Amino acid sequence: MSVIRKAIIPVAGFGTRFLPVTKSIPKEMIPIIDKPTIQYIIEEAVESGITDILLVTSKYKKSIEDYFDNFKELESVLESSKNYEMLDMIKNISNMVNITFVRQKEQKGLGHAIYQGKTFVGNEPFCVLLGDDIVYNRDKPCLKQLIECYEEYGGSVLGVQEVKHEDVSKYGIVDGNKISENIYRVNNLIEKPSMEEAPTNIAILGRYVISCKIFEHLEKENYGKNGEIQLTDSITNLISTEEVYAYKFQGTRYDIGDKVGYLKATIDYSLRDDKIKHIIKDYLGEKLK
C-alpha cells in the first residue's frame, strides 16, 4: 500500500459567515492568538507525515501565498538585532513543507476546489484538510489517525465525530455499519440533511484520505446541495466501486469559519499556552464571578 505524501487544503471560499473581516482578510489568515489558522492546519499535516501540500486559493487570498514565502528583509532585521528565536520561527514558516498554489477561478463549491488538484495528486491516494477546521490532539494529530486507518483498511477514510442532532444540517452525514470501535463502513452519505432526513448524527469534519479515483467523479461537475459541486456527492459515487470508511477521530475540533467556533478556539489555545494561561485563567475567573 502506498505511503500518503500529498495533501490538498482548499482555502478559496468566500467566508461569508465571518463577514465583514473576510471582505479583505482571508479567514484562514485570522490568528488564533498570534498564528494564522492555516498554519495550525499545515503543522498538523506535516506532523502526520505529509511532504507536499497544494493550497487551492483564489484571487482574494494573496496574503496566504505571501505568508508562506521568504521574507529576506525581515530576516536581516531580526538577524542584526540578534533576535534568533524569532528568526528561526520566521524561516521555519517558509521551509517546513513544499507548498504549491493553484487558483480556483470560480467558487463553485468544495468538490470543484478539490478537482483543481487533479494534476498535483496524479495516481496516489491523498489527504484533504479543510482550511477552516482546526483539530487539537496533543498526542496524535487527527490526520495521522486517519492515515493509520487507511494503512490498516485501504479505501478512502473520512474523519467523523458525532454532532448534536440539531446541527446535522451543517454537515455531510454518514450512513454506515460499525465494523470496530471507531470505524464504520460507509453505505451512503447525505450532504446537509434536515434532522428528519439524517440517518445518523455522524458528521464529516474537515479531514479526509481519498482515493485518486475521486477525480473521475468530480470531473462530471454535478451541482448538488446549495447549487455547489459537493465533494460528498462524488465520495458517495465512489462507494459503488471502492470501500469508503468513516473513522471517529480523537481530538477537539473547532470550526473557525464560524464566530463561536473561532472564539472557543482562541480561549482554549490561550489556556494551553504556558506563557499566558495563568493570566487568562485569572481574567476569565474574574469575569465569570
Contact positions toward ligand UTP, by CB under 6 A?
10-17, 56, 104, 107-110, 112-113, 130-132, 257
**Comparison of 36 and 131: residue with beta carbon closer to ligand UTP:** 131
Residue 175 phi/psi, 5° resolution?
A: -115, 115
Choose between 36 and 109: whose C-beta lies nearer to ligand UTP: 109
Q: Distances in Å between the alpha carbon of 237 and those of 156, 216, 224, 244, 258?
A: 12, 10, 13, 10, 29
Q: Would you say 14 or 223 has its CB closer to ligand UTP?
A: 14
DSSP-based three-state secondary structure for 179:
strand
Q: Which three cell numbers stand for residue 71?
A: 521574507
Find the shortest distance in angstroms from Cβ 264 to ligand UTP: 16
Rounded to whole angstroms, the Cα distance separating 253 from 171 reads 14
Alpha-carbon distances, residue 76 vs 70, 72, 84, 128 (angstroms): 12, 6, 11, 36
Strands 35-36, 31-32: pairing is antiparallel
> How, if at all, do strands 6-10 and 52-57 pair?
parallel
| Cβ 283 to ligand UTP shortest distance, Å | 30
- Of 77 and 263, nearer to ligand UTP (C-beta) is 263
Nearest approach in angstroms of CB 227 to ligand UTP is 11
Give min distance, CB of 130 to ligand UTP, in A: 4
CB of 110 to ligand UTP, least distance (A): 4
Q: HSE of 175 in the Cβ direction (CA atoms, 13 Å)? A: 12
Residue 99: burial class (beta carbons within 10 Å; 0-12, 13-18, 19+) = middle
> Which residue minimizes CB distance to ligand UTP?
13
Q: Which is nearer to ligand UTP, 56 or 203 (CB)?
A: 56
Rounded to a whole number of angstroms, the minimum distance from the CB of residue 214 to ligand UTP is 15
In the complex with ligand UTP, the residue whose CB is nearer, 18 or 269, is: 18
Tell me how far apart the alpha carbons of residues 233 and 222 are, in angstroms, rounded to a whole number.
8
